[in-house]
Amino acid sequence: MSGAQVLRSRVRQQLRTAYRNLESYVCQPSLYPDDVYGVRLCNLACRSVESGNFGVSALLARWDGRVLFAGHNQIFEPFFRSDLHAEMVILNRLERRMQGDSIGPRRLTLISSVEPCPMCVSRMIIAGVQQIRFIADDPRGGFAHRLGALPPAWKDLLAGREIVRAKVSPYIREIATLIFGLTVHSLDRKLRGRFVCR
């Protein structure tokens, strides 16, 4: 078996374990109000990995808790689209639906399985999403912990909104981190390979 086959086999095995752990997990909404969302997002992130994309998912919920849209990263599959991060996928759906609709984004909460990148944070700011939450930290690519680096005009647009960690159990945070880590390095290499002149 080649190194790539061993890696794929290991990823499949870890995904099966993640699915089993999520299926047996009992949400504790009184302690962790975002647990139900967390389980759903982790399942979607697993599907993203299975489809050949980064293990990231996101959803938009209304003020009453009802989920309007959910989706996952689609950068590589079904074909390369640099803009189709999980957050972008659901914001695209929202903006298509909002044409003439009375639901304003300020009354919505976006929750991502992983800390959003600079591009996604910018898009959420422009879209006017009021609350942005994320489950797993992304120390290499996440931007929520670097908001101080925003230019003044962007800081003004961000005023009055929050970008915070979702209120999920440590167990769900650990699963989201594991799912994201399954393919992040190999897909980062694949992305960098697109920029090499041959």
Mean pLDDT of each 10-residue bin along the chain, 198 residues long: 59 92 95 97 96 96 92 94 96 86 73 97 90 96 92 92 95 97 89 68
Q: At 91, which CATH number?
A: 3.40.140.10
Note the pLDDT of residue 51: 92
pLDDT at 3: 44
68 φ/ψ angles, rounded to the nearest 5 degrees: -90, -45
For residues 34 and 42, what is the distance between their CA atoms, to the nearest angstrom? 12
pLDDT of residue 93: 93
Domain total in the chain? 1
Quick check: bond before 78 cis, omega within 30? yes
| Any domain includes 198 | no
pTM surpassing 0.75? yes
What is the domain extent for residue 52?
Answer: 3-193
| Cα–Cα separations (whole angstroms), residue 131 to 4, 25, 62, 170, 196 | 40, 26, 11, 21, 38
> In this structure, is residue 163 part of a structural domain?
yes
Q: Is residue 109 part of a domain?
A: yes
- Examine residue 74 and state whether it is found in any structural domain, yes or no: yes
Q: Which of 108, 111, 91, 123 is nearest to 164 (CA)?
A: 111
Would 10 be classed as within a structural domain? yes
Joined together, the tokens standing for residue 138 give 């992304």
- Judge whether 19 lies within some domain: yes
- What is the pLDDT, as a whole number, of residue 6? 46
pLDDT at residue 197 in the model? 53
The residues with which 134 forms a beta bridge, in sequence order, are 112, 165
Kindly give, in sequence order, each residue whose CB lies less than 8 Å from that of residue 89, ignoring residues fewer than 6 positions away.
Answer: 58, 71, 72, 73, 74
